[in-house]
Structure 1
Amino acid sequence: MRWEIPWALPLLLLVAWLGWRTRRPAERPAAVLWVRTAGFGSRLATLAVRPLEVLPWVALALAVAAIARPQQGVRQTETETRGVDIELALDISPSMAAEDFRPSNRLAVAKQTARDFIRQRAHDRLGLVAFAGTAFSQCPLTLDHDALTELLEGLDIGLAEDGTAIGMGLATAVAGLKESRTPSRVVVLLTDGQNNRGAIDPLTGADLARALGVKVYTVLVGRGGVVPVPVDDPLVGRRTEMVRMDVDEETLREIARRTGGRFFRAVDPAALAGIYSAIDRLERAPIHAIEYREYFDLGPALLGVAALLLAVYLLGSTTWAFRLP
């Protein structure tokens, strides 16, 4: 709270002094016409009238306070940021079901770490692309991170054709950033295999990203080689098979190099979480907070209360035949 005219506040001392100077002497009780002037009834009447005597002075004090214009402020903070637009490109090919990230598979761990990453980027627009044999945009760039998280949860193996179209996934993510006007645009590409499908090869996608000024961080998940993969057998149900999975680390490194990003290798859940944290630190934009204050004048409300008190005083004076000595 603040006072627009604080020099008017000393007038309250004058009001208090006048009230003290004009107070009714204790030995001269108020006259009450409709009750007895002695005994218990007289004491009740005196107690009822005495508070009434101070109402004009309280009303005057409120009027003086209103002259000083007390104002209540409402603070509003607006965050102004340079902004980072980030597309998350996530591999959902069948190989992401490999269970070398026990107790979960690769896709479950990737989704969990992506959720944590989204929570840390409160002021950035994020989008989501999924790819396997084909690629599609699951969510365009948005600041609605709750909706983005729900759409991330909806991703699962089998939503796209079998295969790993890394180039198509990268090109789709870059296309999602094409209309962005922010100075910093980033793709985080996560995969566990090598490109074997799609009309666009990974390095062509990298050249497209570089031409548009998009930085690509590539993340290779899994150890490669022979890994446990669950298989649904119609005869015996689900069982685990050891399957050889080859990776193409060199291509992912080259994508990052051409676009000015970085390559990361995640062989366990802790390493993957650390990679997202590292990317979060690398792509931090400065945030400038601008604070606004809007003030509401309380003077009219105080005048309203003062008028009400005067009305009560006048009504009581008329009803009880109250008079000053």
Structure 2
Amino acid sequence: MTWANPEFFWLLILIPLYIGYKVWFVLTKKDPSLTFSSTNFLKDLPGNYRAYLIWLTPVLYVAAYTLFVVALARPQLENSNIERSAEGIDIIMSIDISSSMLAEDISPNRLSAAKSVASDFINERLSDRIGINVFARESFTVVPPTLDHDLVKNMLETIDVGTVRDGTAIGMGIATSINRLRDSEAESKVIILLTDGMNNAGEIDPITAGEMAATFGIRIYTLGIGTRGTAPYPVDDPVFGRRYQNVEVNIDEEMLTQVANQTGGQYYRATDLQELIAIYDEIDQLEQSEIEEIIYIDREDLYPWYLGSGILLLLLGFLNERFFARSPLFYS
């Protein structure tokens, strides 16, 4: 509820002033009196309903005045209808699933952290079609770009190391993603590629794939994930069980930077979980969907209800005073 003329509420100040004046007048008024030696016998006389109705008149009048003030303030019921149109972005998230993604320099491991942060990113992209591509020695599409984000997140959870032969075919990961976006009619097309290594497999090198992406107007954001130096990698020993060995972290940052730059994207390096979250947040801000909103506001005046109720209370107060009880508060 809104108020068209809220300044009229200042008139309510008159209520306590008026009542205070009338009470003071009754208490100080000197009426003719008759002296009795004792008034004890009056206690046993039965009461009369008029003794109570005498106070009803001022209550009704004050309530009626309050409703008149509310009516003057013009209460309105506001109904808003929003017409929204969104021009979304087509996004492919290309994720490295080579065995090195099991390294635990980012808790619980690189792949699990990447999946968790990617899922949060998907939740923020309400108007965008999102798909998932994975790569190791080969590359394949897990789910093509779609607005069914629940499906995308469910399929994201299923990806794991060992689905395809081990290796890191970054160029193939980019090429497969391009194949899913090249016929898109979206105004903006984006690939978010995440890897922790160097290209060592596949028929297409990443630089050539990047040039292909630029030809189709596709921006690529490349993410290198992994600490600097060495990282703990789990090894399952048949005799001693699981143990860890430190492996070198080799990310071809120069190549990833070149691929991103030639498509108008950016390269990022995430050495811990917080950096990875911050990177996805930054990409979320860089790639904003265009959303137009038209708001229609319909206001319904409610003052007739208050005005009618005030008139009814005023009439009841007049009838009560005229025929049932005369109030000393409203007559001098």
TM-score normalised by length of structure 1: 0.64
CA spacing shift, 1:243–1:53, aligned 2, 3 Å:
closer
Aligned to 2:324: 322
Indicate if the aligned counterparts of 2:128 and 2:289 stay in contact, CA closer than 8 A: no
Q: How many angstroms apart in 2 are the aligned matches of 1:281 and 1:173? A: 22
Indicate if the aligned counterparts of 2:224 and 2:269 stay in contact, CA closer than 8 A: yes
CA spacing shift, 1:4–1:232, aligned 2, 3 Å:
same
RMSD over equivalenced CA pairs, Å: 5.3
Q: What is the SS of the residue equivalent to 2:93?
A: strand
Indicate if the aligned counterparts of 2:90 and 2:181 stay in contact, CA closer than 8 A: no
Residue 100 of structure 2 corresponds to residue 95 of structure 1: yes
263, 266, 271: which is aligned to 1:262? Answer: 266
Residue 134 of structure 2 corresponds to residue 131 of structure 1: yes
Indicate if the aligned counterparts of 1:85 and 1:177 stay in contact, CA closer than 8 A: no
Q: How many angstroms apart in 2 are the aligned matches of 1:313 and 1:232? A: 91
292, 296, 299: which is aligned to 2:300? Answer: 296
Deviations 1:142-163 (A, max 9, x none): 496x876665455432445544
Indicate if the aligned counterparts of 2:107 and 2:113 stay in contact, CA closer than 8 A: no
Residue 188 of structure 2 corresponds to residue 187 of structure 1: no
Q: What is the SS of the residue equivalent to 2:168?
A: coil
Residue 109 of structure 2 corresponds to residue 105 of structure 1: yes
Indicate if the aligned counterparts of 1:92 and 1:130 stay in contact, CA closer than 8 A: no
How far off its partner does 1:247 sit? 5.0
Indicate if the aligned counterparts of 1:195 and 1:201 stay in contact, CA closer than 8 A: yes
Aligned length: 308
Indicate if the aligned counterparts of 2:88 and 2:186 stay in contact, CA closer than 8 A: no
| Paired AA for residue 51 in structure 1 | L
How far off its partner does 1:303 sit? 4.5
Residue 244 of structure 2 corresponds to residue 240 of structure 1: yes
Indicate if the aligned counterparts of 1:85 and 1:124 stay in contact, CA closer than 8 A: no
How far off its partner does 1:97 sit? 0.7
Aligned to 1:48: 53
Q: What is the SS of the residue equivalent to 1:188?
A: strand
Deviations 1:213-272 (A, max 9, x none): 121111223369975432334444323345677654454333223212223344454554
How far off its partner does 1:302 sit? 1.7
Aligned to 1:219: 223
Q: What is the SS of the residue equivalent to 1:107?
A: helix
| Paired AA for residue 256 in structure 1 | A
| Paired AA for residue 52 in structure 2 | L
Q: What is the SS of the residue equivalent to 1:217?
A: strand
| Paired AA for residue 170 in structure 1 | I
CA spacing shift, 1:307–1:138, aligned 2, 3 Å:
farther
Percent identical: 36
TM-score normalised by length of structure 2: 0.63
Q: What is the SS of the residue equivalent to 1:95?
A: helix
Q: What is the SS of the residue equivalent to 2:217?
A: coil
CA spacing shift, 1:137–1:308, aligned 2, 3 Å:
farther
Indicate if the aligned counterparts of 2:171 and 2:204 stay in contact, CA closer than 8 A: yes
Indicate if the aligned counterparts of 1:81 and 1:123 stay in contact, CA closer than 8 A: no
How far off its partner does 1:138 sit? 4.2
CA spacing shift, 1:255–1:71, aligned 2, 3 Å:
same
Q: What is the SS of the residue equivalent to 1:219?
A: strand
Deviations 1:275-309 (A, max 9, x none): 44554564467888876654332224324644764
Aligned to 1:35: none
How far off its partner does 1:122 sit? 6.0
Q: How many angstroms apart in 2 are the aligned matches of 1:274 and 1:5? A: 46
| Paired AA for residue 129 in structure 1 | I
Q: What is the SS of the residue equivalent to 1:193?
A: coil
Runs of at least 5 residues in structure 1 that lack an aligned partner in the other structure: 20-24, 29-37
